[in-house]
Structure 1
Amino acid sequence: MTEVSAHLTRMVRRVQADGRVPAVAAALHRADRPLWTCQVGETGNGTTLGPETAFRIGSVTKTFTAVLTLQCRDDGLLDLDDPLERHLELPAHGELTVRRLLSHTSGLQREPYGDVWDTLRAPDAEAFLAELARAERVLPTGRRYHYSNLGMALLGRLVGRLRGGTWAEVLDERVLGPLGLTGTTVTPGPTAATGFLVDAYSDQAHPEQPTDFGAVSPAAQLWSTATDMARWAAFLADPAALDPEGAVLAPTTLDEMRWPLTVTDETLWSGGFGLGLILVPQGDRVVHVGHDGAMPGFLAAVYGRRGGEGTAGAMGAAVFGSSGTAAEVFDLPHRLLAAAVERDPADVVPWRAGPPAPPEVRGLLGRWWGEGFEYVFSWHDGTLRARGAGDPAGKPPAVFAPLPDRPDVYRTVSGREVGELLRLTRDDSGVVTRMHWATYRFTRRQESFDGYDFRS
């Protein structure tokens, strides 16, 4: 066992012991190292605890439903701003949009009508629809974040309707199969651990009964292994590494899903939601993206890591616990990812010389001034880029792409002013003398807005 592996293993063992969790399973995926796994404890049912042991992942299921929904959008089956009633016949709430449901800003109540968590009986499809009109809009739509299993269940129904199958069938065909997530299922299977409620004042662990979530399955039904979910977390963070052809989802669509649409607390901006994904900032331009899950007897946390010095490609961690109260499980994947980067950072890739910038670009490289500030335009990795002269090293540059039908016009495709145009102006000899970026004038020397040149 390497020093890094021993350190990570000790972290897992500490959570299992301090949290009094009957079984903990953890896995760490990264593109540049072998898969790391760790299991501590017992399954509680006589089966062997190992990498193939399945745990209930609860609301991590929502990330799959979100991906299925974005697949429908990318295939032209829906628009994110479509109301549900455009695609589904519903007795109520059909005016809610897909985007609002994905970001938990619809205002819809948290659960289906009735005391689901008291009876542990989720409605079937018929009862789900029959009682939908009894569910409340507890907040005005768009007012703020309010988590809703009911909303995600509606999206699962939408996906099945658009694809001509059940949510589970579509999930298996379009996500689990293509990504090789063979340990992820809608039912527990023979390798499943037993979930427990551990008594607060003694060492007794009482087994919880597995429940079928019926029509609410798209919000919380799945079971999986830590190895499968570490891979899934890596996909959410770095889809091009695991799905280079974009067969499951285009990397640009995952970029869209990871963009924060709301915060979960109005004063502590320590977490937010994109399109079905939880976003947890880690500082120094690092973010963890994924989801937590909780079901009777089980807790789960699945997150991929993006950004920061030393972060490897396709980096994701999953931690499962067979206790419904061991909150230490939720923090552990974040700590495992940080520790792996700190103690075993990704290798530094050597710089290599590349081809020169194209002739039409060469003359505009270097320093320019806009809005009174200095910028540096450069050519790297086959693209035109721009950075503020005072930008910190980790801030991504603006990246431009030429418009084939408009000479000397570029579209900003990422970074500052994404989506805006960059237009070049040349003199009679072809030298670029001025640029306009998002309509702001850029010149070789600092000028005021009315054109006064401080060096003239």
Structure 2
Amino acid sequence: MAARMTDGTPVTEKSDHPKAATSAYEREVRLLQRDHRVPSVSAALARQDRPLWTLEVAGPELAKGTDAQYRIGSVTKTFTAVLVMQARDAGLLDLDDTVAQHLDVPRHGDLTIRRLLSHSSGLAREPYGDVWDTLDVPDSGKLLADLTHIESVLPTSRRFHYSNLGFAILGHLVARLAGSTWEELVVDRLIRPLGLTRTTVTQQGPVAQGYLVDAFSERVRPETGLDFGGVGPAAQLWSTAADMATWAAFLAKPDEKVLAGSTVDEMVHPLMVTDEMDWKLALGLGLMVVPRGDRVVHVGHTGGMPGFIAGVFCDRASGVGAAVLGASGTAGQIAAVPHKLLELSAELDEPQIQPWVPGEAPPDEIVSVLGHWWTEGTQFTFSWKDGKLEGRAAGQPKQIPPAIFERLTADLYRTVSGREAGEHLRLTRGDDGKVVRMNWATYRVTRDQQTF
């Protein structure tokens, strides 16, 4: 008999990764390190049914082991976004609240939390001053005070415009609501509960050195370490590939004690494409959403700091998380390899096929709803599965989820997901109590095909 948790849910038994899969993972990472001249690379893949897979590729003099920390840069934003959503779920804020409702700022207090999360506020990218030239980063007090000098470079919600400053503001806002600092909050609410023991606000050895790799020679030059001060909620964290793959897997299948799955569903809904002519990347609420074809999307974030580039993504359907961290500030391909690892995992290491098991009979009031119906000239099949009423169009590909309905009153249902989400399904019964007609989003649904 399969092992079960105390709440009755099955425990997935772990088995080793197939050799063909691990060989393919290793090849991708080794090609990255060689072809893009990355002094050291650390990679990891986390999935529920396999032990954590990790690999470091580096020359002997640079090898630090898979437990070495790297800067993860803007992957930090995903932590700040989750902190904001935790506060929202706790009733401390609304995403359409303005900054000024929760934080005393001299300017830009009219910007909303939702727009800052989705990089659609129009706020300037960086804090006041030439931060990336001088490496003189303001503390939180100066960062907020300097907002008086900062422009809105675009109208709010006009288009995507990346803003480290916006995420810094969010971090300080949510910390103020908690009566804490962002640094304390990210440890107490996320890092410690999820067991991310090698994820820290300041570096803790062993630590990889970040480099600039010369474009036209084999020389590498060490980059300076940089404490991001008041901009920390946007890019401060250090971590390992193992911790980041675990974090990515959390974003795929979250621990409900830390963040509700329905909240992550909200976070991954695309709000703004980064390029209106090339829809290959969108932003949700603090998370990057990358379509990969055939209804597969990867969710996560990239990151860059002097001498480091990171890519941390998950496949939400499978629950697999991947992370690749590199000690080069010039090898942009580092951020692309997690996608390859996720796709190799799906291709070469498919999860075990779970057997179908019989379920409970549908309730009496549902029986006459089941079967084939027609609406708007299209045939639908209504079924009872997993304790829910669902509807699926004829010929609808399996990877497209059905419409799911929840009962409101005796003969009134709400579409909670899929086609016509949010709309009502209303049942009409004949003298014998059987359903003879339905109305879905007001459209008539009948047993035979009819004109309007």
TM-score (norm 2): 0.94
Cα distance in 1 for partners of 2:103, 2:316 equals: 36
Counterpart contact for 2:252–2:314, Cα < 8 Å: yes
Q: Is residue 2:295 matched to residue 1:278?
A: no
Amino acid aligned to 2:150: A
**What is the rounded CA distance, in whole Å, between the counterparts of 1:407 and 1:237 in structure 2?**
35
Structure 1 stretches of 4+ with a deviation exceeding 3 A read 42-45
**1:418/1:2 Cα in 2 relative to 1: closer, same or farther (>3 Å)?**
same
- 1:377 and 1:384 in contact (8 A); partners too: yes
**1:129 deviation in Å?**
2.0
Please give the per-residue CA displacement for 1:90-135, whole angstroms capped at 9, x wherever unaligned. 0000000000000000000100111000011210122212211111
Q: Aligned equivalents of 2:122 and 2:234: distance in 1?
A: 17
Are 2:354 and 1:349 equivalent residues in the alignment? yes
Letter in 1 for 2:47: R
The CA deviation string for residues 222-253 of structure 1, in whole angstroms up to 9 with x for no partner, is 000100000111111221xxx1xx11110000
1:277 counterpart letter in structure 2 = L
Name 2:57's counterpart in structure 1: 40
Q: Report the 3-state secondary structure (helix = DSSP H, G, I; strand = E; otherwise coil) of the residue aligned with 2:264.
A: helix
Look up the match of 1:453: none
d(CA) in 2 for partners of 1:135 and 1:44?
A: 45
Alignment of 1:45-60 (within 5 A): 49-60=64-75
Aligned twin of 2:448:
445
SS of 1:131's equivalent in the other structure is: helix
What's the offset of the Cα at 1:51?
2.1
Matches within 5 A, 1:120-269: 120-239=135-254, 243=255, 246-269=256-279
CA contact (8 A) 1:104 1:145 kept: yes
The aligned residue for residue 402 of structure 1 is 407
Given the alignment, which residue of 100, 103, 126 partners 2:118?
Answer: 103
In the alignment, the residues of structure 2 paired with residue 11 and residue 100 of structure 1 have an alpha-carbon distance, to the nearest angstrom, of 36
1:28 partner amino acid: L
Given that 1:42 and 1:49 are in contact with CA atoms closer than 8 Å, whether structure 2 keeps it comes out as: no
Rate the CA distance shift 1:252–1:390 in 2: closer, same or farther, 3 A: same
Query: 1:295 and 2:305 equivalent?
Result: yes
What residue is the counterpart of 1:27 in the other structure?
44
The residue aligned with 1:372 is: 377
Report matched runs for 1:78-117 at 5 Å. 78-117=93-132
1:315 aligns with 320
Alignment-derived partner of residue 331 in structure 2: 326
Deviates more, 1:296-305 or 1:431-440: 431-440
Deviations 1:48-69 (A, max 9, x none): 5222110000000000000000
Give the secondary-structure state (helix, strand or coil) at the position aligned to 1:357: coil
Deviation at 1:43, TM superposition (A): 8.7
**2:14 is aligned with 1:9:** no
Corresponding residue SS for 2:362? coil
Partner of 1:428 in structure 2? 431
The Cα of 1:42 is off from its aligned counterpart by 4.7
Q: 1:360 aligns with which of 354, 365, 371?
A: 365
Q: 2 CA distance for matches of 1:114 and 1:384?
A: 57
CA distance change for structure 1 residues 304 and 76 in 2, over 3 Å: closer, same or farther?
same
Instruction: Quote the residue 2:340 is aligned against.
Output: 335
The alpha-carbon deviation at position 352 of structure 1 amounts to: 1.4
Report how far residue 290 of structure 1 moved: 0.2
Instruction: Decide which moves more: 369-378 or 76-85.
Output: 369-378
CA contact (8 A) 2:64 2:207 kept: no
Normalising by structure 1, report the TM-score: 0.94
> By how many angstroms is 1:6 displaced?
1.5
Q: Which moved more, 1:292-301 or 1:394-403?
A: 394-403
Is the 2:105–2:145 contact (alpha carbons within 8 Å) kept by the matching residues of 1? no
CA distance in 2, matches of 1:150, 1:198: 28
Against the structure 1 CA distance between its residues 338 and 86, is the aligned structure 2 distance closer, same or farther, given a 3 Å change threshold? same
- Segments of structure 1 that go 5 or more residues without pairing to the other structure are 450-456
1:326-353 deviation line (CA, Å, top 9, x unaligned): 1120110001110111111112211112
Structure 1 residue 144, shift from structure 2 partner: 0.4
Q: Which residue of 2 aligns with 1:454?
A: none
- Write the deviation string for residues 345-384 of structure 1: whole angstroms up to 9, x where unpaired: 1122111122221111111101111112111100111111
Per the alignment, residue 414 of structure 1 pairs with 417
Q: CA deviation at 1:305?
A: 0.6
Structure 2 stretches lacking a partner, 5+ long: 1-17
TM-aligned CA deviation for residue 281 of structure 1: 0.2
Q: Displacement of 1:3 after TM fit?
A: 2.2
Change (3 A) 1:32 1:270: same
Alignment partner of 2:392 out of 375, 387, 394: 387
SS at match of 2:438: strand
Q: Which amino acid aligns with 1:76?
A: G
Distance in 2 (alpha carbons) for counterparts of 1:76 and 1:354:
37
Residue 422 (structure 1) shift: 1.0
d(CA) in 2 for partners of 1:256 and 1:370?
A: 29
